[in-house]
Structure 1
Amino acid sequence: MIFSSETSIDSLEEDLRYLKLLATKYPTIPDACTEIINLQAILNLPKGTEHFLSDIHGEYESFTHVLRNASGVIKRKINDIFGNSLRDSEKKELATLIYYPEQKLEISLREEADIEDWYKITLYKLIEFCRIISSKYTRSKVRKALPPDFSYIIEELLHEQQSTFNKQEYYNGIIQTIIRIGRAKEFIVAISNLIQRLTIDRLHIIGDIYDRGPGAHIILDTLMDYHSIDIQWGNHDMLWMGAAAGCESCIANVLRISTRYANLDTIEEGYGINLLPLATFALDFYNNDPCKSFKPKVYPDNNYREKDLNLMSQMHKAISIIQFKLEGAIIKRRPHYEMESRLLLSDIDYENGTITIDGKEYKLNDTNFPTIDPSDPYKLTQDEIELVDKLKSSFANSDKLQEHIRFLYSNGSMYSKYNSNLLYHGCISLSEDGSFKKMKIDGVTYSGRSYIDRTERLAREAYFGKADSESKLYALDNVWYLWCGCNSPLFGKDKMATFERYFINDKSAHTEVKNPYYKYRDDETICNNILVEFGLNPDDSHIVNGHVPVKTKQGESPIKAGGKLLVIDGGFSKAYQPETGIAGYTLIYNSYGLLLASHAPFESTQKAIDEGKDILSSTIILEKSSNRIRVVDTDVGLEIKEQIGDLEQLLTAYRKGLIKEKG
């Protein structure tokens, strides 16, 4: 609300305490007026570009490249700025320089005959590019992003008009001096990094940073340095969050997946977690077991020896059996999870080597269970108890892991609303008729948004709750449920058929039935209901979703419900690419509208640097705004308007003498 000079003194006095606090920042009428003018001007700037990525799954090279090239935004902007004035090869060289300035500079320094001339031409191009990119921001915002070593020089160059006769020599002098004193290389690196930063105003990660690929820890380090970010947790993120919080079944799952995908880099090198106890245990109990169903999934470029892979198979089986036991304990103590059907170790006929599931008998492909007591299959042996304790201690005492998980808690959530877009990783649990599924937690019925809000509170208590308390154990169990429970909004299936995939060859036993959400997400009415449930106007809002890869190869579209819902999990993970046919979708939301980009598989960072091999991307314009979207149309705009209202209220208080100026 904006208060005019006619605003009653009584209403101002109600907020006097707040206004006095505001007056410490704006102690005079001119100070308040200046800030109002500044904020009002910001409202008319174009909105910043948002970048949406999902399901990165540890593929740090692809992720880093997509982050650097902003899903093709930088390349398109180069075309817009330089048009036909540069050859395609020159545009490619400039793009690569912006993405990888340090590495590309080394190549250029070796290959260019006249390096000073190359420096001069390159600096002019980069400054021109940066000037256009920065033009949608205030000088203050750009100034905060400037690298300290060159902040004054870059600011001068960005806001100087070359065409102004009196300043041409001044402008050229700066460029020539940078080259003459040997600072051109450092300046190019600084301005290239600035371009990357200014190209994207806000980054959204729609879940699943962890598992499968080798570099989740590298991705987290990158995200921690990013200037503006929010994260919607995925089920794989939740699994690692639970492991870091001390959930034993989550720890077992993390290690099982790491051994399944021959991905121990994140565990050992990234987080310094000691796997020697698991390896020793596996050799003690599975040394003569071929563990055929537990052979790691490896890619052609893996560097593991056959001996290493055999040991990893044994570790894989050992931790899987421990996982089933630990999960059984949770299922037994939480009957309201309604997961008794997953107590499969009790359904095995150990003498005949068979198992009965849903009334059907299956032959087991592996009957070597040296640590299972058929009379009490979920009881951990003493060796298993000691191993779990050691692993739990390693996870708890990994400083890097704990730092990353705290970052996920600080910057993440189950869902987010941002500029009329609803962002979440998995699903909104629905009943067969498309209504929000009702679920009871501690005797209270939840559905839709209230259910997800409740699960988020429990996820936070699992990490921050009082150690060794019953409420903490309850929350830790819930984190595991969010990973694989039948009503988990992060998982979205009736079961996780891990046991069946390992021990039963009949693939009909591997079926996992998806929540009805996945049947209804192409229904515009259902999507509108979800948006309304979360307090958004369905006429101008979208849902951005990840989790289930879009099978482009089979003709599936990432655009659902007439563009109301967008699925951007297209297969960053190499494990999915044969099925999806591509290497991921990303979304761009700029001041002109929404653009969906699909990406071909990324070869390598080295080829991108040496040969300029960018990710081949195809862009679809989903929505184009008839009028350019301004800051006033965004969530930030709403906040600014509130600030303007508060400042105008402060002005009235000054002018009516309720608060004295202190200037």
Structure 2
Amino acid sequence: MTLYNENNIEIISDDIRYLKLLGTKYPTISSASSEIINLQAILNLPKGTEHFISDIHGEYESFTHMLKNASGVIKRKLDDIFGTSLMERDKASIATLIYYPEEKMDLLKQREQNLEEWYKVTLYRLIQVCKSVSSKYTRSKVRKALPKDFAYIIEELLNEQGDRVNKQDYYTGIINTIIEIGCADAFVIALSKVIQRLVVDRLHIIGDIYDRGPGAEIVMDALMDHHSIDFQWGNHDILWMGAASGSRACVANVLRISLRYANLSTLEDGYGINLLPLATFAMETYNNDPCECFIPKTLDKDISEGDQHLYAKMHKAIAIIQFKLEGQKIKRRPEFEMDYMLLLDKINFEEGTVEVNKKKYKMRDMSLPTVDPKEPYKLTLEEEELISKLTRSFVNSEKLQKHIRFMYSKGNLYLVYNSNLLYHGCIPLNKDGSFKKLVIQDKEYYGKSLLDIFEYYAREAYFYKNDTDVKNHAMDMMWYLWCGPYSPLFGKDRITTFERYFIEEKETHKENQNYYYKYRDSEELCNRIFEEFKLNPKISHIINGHIPVKTIKGESPVKGNGKLLVIDGGFCRAYQPETGIAGYTLIYNSYGLLLSSHEPFESTKKAIEEESDILSSTVILEHSAVRKRVADTDIGKKLQNEILDLEKLLIAYRKGLIEEKEI
């Protein structure tokens, strides 16, 4: 196994400073040898299960349930463990208990007549499940996942051997004592949470946590508690990140979208954003204006008529401010080439028309008291004061800043992980399918380099404090990522927000998708993207979100001969009528890839009381007869490098280049 021998002393000598540092952690031959044995053993364990979820859009109930049931992994585990020895209703009951242990315990305790017997049976079953989900990990890793108070007891029960007659009374005694001293409830909850944690080794969120749905902050709280997670930022996430950075145009967009969907709870209750100044300004400015074009899309929300009218006025007020701020930005950044959005100066106030693409259209609403025809993009003093107050609320929101910092620390514009390429939107392409080249500050970027430079600006917008001009430029780039014609997150040639509000003719509403979406069903494009990101086209996949798959129209989430997988299937309720389902998720375990499509989730209450799970259909995309091991993963590569370093250290000890230390 050792790759370094007496003939490699020069290599060892070159690394002697690093090896001395490594020797402080492994001061003896035996400690270094033990670690090599440990790491080599880990390499032979099965690969951990990865869980991919995309486009959550604040739908916290369905997302939380999906997180708890791991897209059906727990149900499949129960089938594997208990088979036909348990009835389906019993397996459903165990599953619900694992998902919602505290809530389910309260219900079950009221129903069960022989509670002691129920505890014994349930604890035994949960231990069986916990044994199964922990079997692919080292004892050390399992130990770290255990709750501190019960770690020793759970570890003993997990390592119980059924054929050891001598210890049978010992294990039975543990269970009986847990029940007798009144710890059964806490123990059931602890076991359930350990199962939830161990069933998925890594969670990937492929963008768009924010907007439309009612509980993005609840989703973020849940993700911050997850043991192993990464984000690939979506266009809606980048908008909130821009707002938290202090971009006024991003703040205005966040507020407008929240009002469009009557989703103010995330802003007010979740993040403590004070909307009273906006409400006051809107009522004073648009008091007698019905603001019919700005009535929010309430879906199934129960909102009073009075609140609807207030929201509409607030909606219009912030939309006009947004159009002004965006106009200022476009004029300041001609390199963005977004003059098509400059429409306030194309309004003919006498005719009640606006010119779009050299054609005049009748305006649906001409009540624009804050728009000066001579300086249409200039904010009034009241608007200036208002947007400054609102921006300060975003920048000073402690919880929002905590969530956004977490998104930066765990997130990227794209991720290469275990030979898969993860990103939310697209790789911008030209009409002929070649990578689109953008010139940014006199330098050309395309493909991977384009995503890298955009990520650089996204981080600079939030973290850079020294130079106002540099920070403002980076914040403008954040806004471009939200809606720019060659943004890898937006993926369209234009955004037609103004037209959708003010012009009836739908021809002006058209937003053409980037050519990426024309070519992404091509295996040839997928292979070129893999080569651009230095991935092996034979084993790699692109995992993509952003554009909902219209399953109802027969569209498949599997593109490029199986090399590109789109997992945005409509988590957001607003999309479900056109998608026909409530989302796709992906599971990548040691045997291969499984794609699950999900029916709409009714409610957490119904899931607990009636043991109703999300109805899912799972398709095996790839299956390997030989299980993937840790050695086949990115973590495995790091462990192999650690082993090589430890082997060098052993030789250094044995050749006297480094002296062993007494422990």
Amino acid at match of 2:28: T
Aligned equivalent of 2:148: 148
Alpha-carbon distance between aligned partners in 2 of 1:501 and 1:470, rounded to the nearest angstrom: 33
- For 1:236-635, what aligned pairs fall within 5 Å after superposition? 236-300=236-300, 302-466=301-465, 469-635=468-634
Alpha-carbon distance between aligned partners in 1 of 2:70 and 2:224, rounded to the nearest angstrom: 17
Instruction: Describe the superposition over 1:608-661 as per-residue Cα deviations: whole angstroms up to 9, x where unpaired.
Output: 000011000000100001211111111111001000000000000000000000
Deviation at 1:467, TM superposition (A): 5.2
Deviation at 1:362, TM superposition (A): 1.0
Alpha-carbon distance between aligned partners in 2 of 1:644 and 1:660, rounded to the nearest angstrom: 20
Amino acid at match of 1:184: A
- Is this contact kept in 2: 1:587–1:597, CA < 8 A? yes
Alpha-carbon distance between aligned partners in 2 of 1:5 and 1:543, rounded to the nearest angstrom: 41
Alpha-carbon distance between aligned partners in 2 of 1:533 and 1:7, rounded to the nearest angstrom: 38
Aligned equivalent of 2:101: 101
1:58/1:467 CA distance change after superposition, 3 Å:
farther
Instruction: Describe the superposition over 1:377-434 as per-residue Cα deviations: whole angstroms up to 9, x where unpaired.
Output: 0000000000011101111110000000000110000000000100000000000111
Amino acid at match of 2:649: L
Alpha-carbon distance between aligned partners in 1 of 2:60 and 2:8, rounded to the nearest angstrom: 59
- For 1:624-663, what aligned pairs fall within 5 Å after superposition? 624-663=623-662
Alpha-carbon distance between aligned partners in 1 of 2:659 and 2:562, rounded to the nearest angstrom: 54
- How many corresponding residue pairs? 662
Instruction: Describe the superposition over 1:172-212 as per-residue Cα deviations: whole angstroms up to 9, x where unpaired.
Output: 11001100110000000000000000000000000000000
Q: After the TM superposition, which of the residue ranges 138-147 and 461-470 deviates more from structure 2?
A: 461-470
Alpha-carbon distance between aligned partners in 1 of 2:401 and 2:302, rounded to the nearest angstrom: 29
- Is this contact kept in 2: 1:549–1:571, CA < 8 A? yes
Give the TM-score normalised by the residue count of structure 2: 0.99
Deviation at 1:299, TM superposition (A): 2.4
Deviation at 1:356, TM superposition (A): 1.3
- Is this contact kept in 2: 1:96–1:609, CA < 8 A? yes
Alpha-carbon distance between aligned partners in 2 of 1:255 and 1:380, rounded to the nearest angstrom: 17
Aligned equivalent of 1:127: 127
RMSD (Å), alpha carbons: 0.9
- The DSSP-based 3-state class of the residue aligned with 2:25 is coil
1:604/1:467 CA distance change after superposition, 3 Å:
farther
Amino acid at match of 1:660: E
Instruction: Describe the superposition over 1:554-611 as per-residue Cα deviations: whole angstroms up to 9, x where unpaired.
Output: 1111000111000000000000001101000000000010000000000000000000
- Is this contact kept in 2: 1:293–1:503, CA < 8 A? yes
- The DSSP-based 3-state class of the residue aligned with 1:24 is helix
* Structure 1 consecutive aligned stretches of length 4 or more whose deviation exceeds 3 Å: none
Deviation at 1:8, TM superposition (A): 3.0
Amino acid at match of 1:646: D
Instruction: Describe the superposition over 1:523-577 as per-residue Cα deviations: whole angstroms up to 9, x where unpaired.
Output: 0000110011011001000000000000001111100011100000000000000
- The DSSP-based 3-state class of the residue aligned with 1:375 is coil
Alpha-carbon distance between aligned partners in 1 of 2:271 and 2:260, rounded to the nearest angstrom: 18
Deviation at 1:468, TM superposition (A): 5.4
Alpha-carbon distance between aligned partners in 2 of 1:550 and 1:367, rounded to the nearest angstrom: 37
Deviation at 1:350, TM superposition (A): 1.3
- The DSSP-based 3-state class of the residue aligned with 1:8 is helix
- The DSSP-based 3-state class of the residue aligned with 1:109 is helix
Alpha-carbon distance between aligned partners in 2 of 1:592 and 1:350, rounded to the nearest angstrom: 65
Alpha-carbon distance between aligned partners in 2 of 1:213 and 1:46, rounded to the nearest angstrom: 37
Deviation at 1:163, TM superposition (A): 2.0
Aligned equivalent of 2:137: 137
Aligned equivalent of 1:177: 177
Give the TM-score normalised by the residue count of structure 1: 0.99
Amino acid at match of 2:432: D
Alpha-carbon distance between aligned partners in 1 of 2:159 and 2:352, rounded to the nearest angstrom: 77
Instruction: Describe the superposition over 1:325-384 as per-residue Cα deviations: whole angstroms up to 9, x where unpaired.
Output: 000111001000000111011111111111111122111111100100011100000000
- Is this contact kept in 2: 1:162–1:171, CA < 8 A? no
Amino acid at match of 2:162: Q
Aligned equivalent of 2:48: 48
Alpha-carbon distance between aligned partners in 2 of 1:136 and 1:196, rounded to the nearest angstrom: 15
Alpha-carbon distance between aligned partners in 2 of 1:196 and 1:590, rounded to the nearest angstrom: 16
Alpha-carbon distance between aligned partners in 2 of 1:74 and 1:249, rounded to the nearest angstrom: 44
Aligned equivalent of 1:207: 207
- The DSSP-based 3-state class of the residue aligned with 2:535 is coil
Instruction: Describe the superposition over 1:215-236 as per-residue Cα deviations: whole angstroms up to 9, x where unpaired.
Output: 0001111111100001000000
Alpha-carbon distance between aligned partners in 1 of 2:535 and 2:450, rounded to the nearest angstrom: 17
Amino acid at match of 1:150: F
- Is this contact kept in 2: 1:409–1:460, CA < 8 A? yes
- The DSSP-based 3-state class of the residue aligned with 1:105 is helix
Amino acid at match of 2:263: N
- The DSSP-based 3-state class of the residue aligned with 2:6 is coil
For structure 1, which runs of at least 5 residues remain unmatched after alignment?
none
- Is this contact kept in 2: 1:244–1:401, CA < 8 A? yes
Amino acid at match of 1:522: D
- Is this contact kept in 2: 1:482–1:490, CA < 8 A? yes
- The DSSP-based 3-state class of the residue aligned with 2:307 is helix
Amino acid at match of 2:379: L
Alpha-carbon distance between aligned partners in 1 of 2:465 and 2:161, rounded to the nearest angstrom: 60
Alpha-carbon distance between aligned partners in 2 of 1:558 and 1:352, rounded to the nearest angstrom: 47
- Is this contact kept in 2: 1:3–1:652, CA < 8 A? no
Alpha-carbon distance between aligned partners in 1 of 2:7 and 2:132, rounded to the nearest angstrom: 43
Alpha-carbon distance between aligned partners in 1 of 2:7 and 2:658, rounded to the nearest angstrom: 15
- Is this contact kept in 2: 1:48–1:136, CA < 8 A? yes
Aligned equivalent of 2:81: 81
Deviation at 1:6, TM superposition (A): 2.2
Q: After the TM superposition, which of the residue ranges 3-12 and 323-332 deviates more from structure 2?
A: 3-12
Alpha-carbon distance between aligned partners in 2 of 1:121 and 1:10, rounded to the nearest angstrom: 63
Alpha-carbon distance between aligned partners in 2 of 1:235 and 1:594, rounded to the nearest angstrom: 27
Amino acid at match of 2:618: T
Instruction: Describe the superposition over 1:428-451 as per-residue Cα deviations: whole angstroms up to 9, x where unpaired.
Output: 000011110111000101100001
Amino acid at match of 1:659: I
Amino acid at match of 1:135: S
Amino acid at match of 2:524: T
Deviation at 1:306, TM superposition (A): 1.1
Alpha-carbon distance between aligned partners in 2 of 1:561 and 1:417, rounded to the nearest angstrom: 18
1:2/1:492 CA distance change after superposition, 3 Å:
farther
Amino acid at match of 1:333: R
For structure 2, which runs of at least 5 residues remain unmatched after alignment?
none
Deviation at 1:10, TM superposition (A): 2.3
Amino acid at match of 2:71: S
Amino acid at match of 1:255: L
- Is this contact kept in 2: 1:70–1:199, CA < 8 A? yes
Deviation at 1:9, TM superposition (A): 2.5
Deviation at 1:304, TM superposition (A): 2.0
Deviation at 1:4, TM superposition (A): 2.3
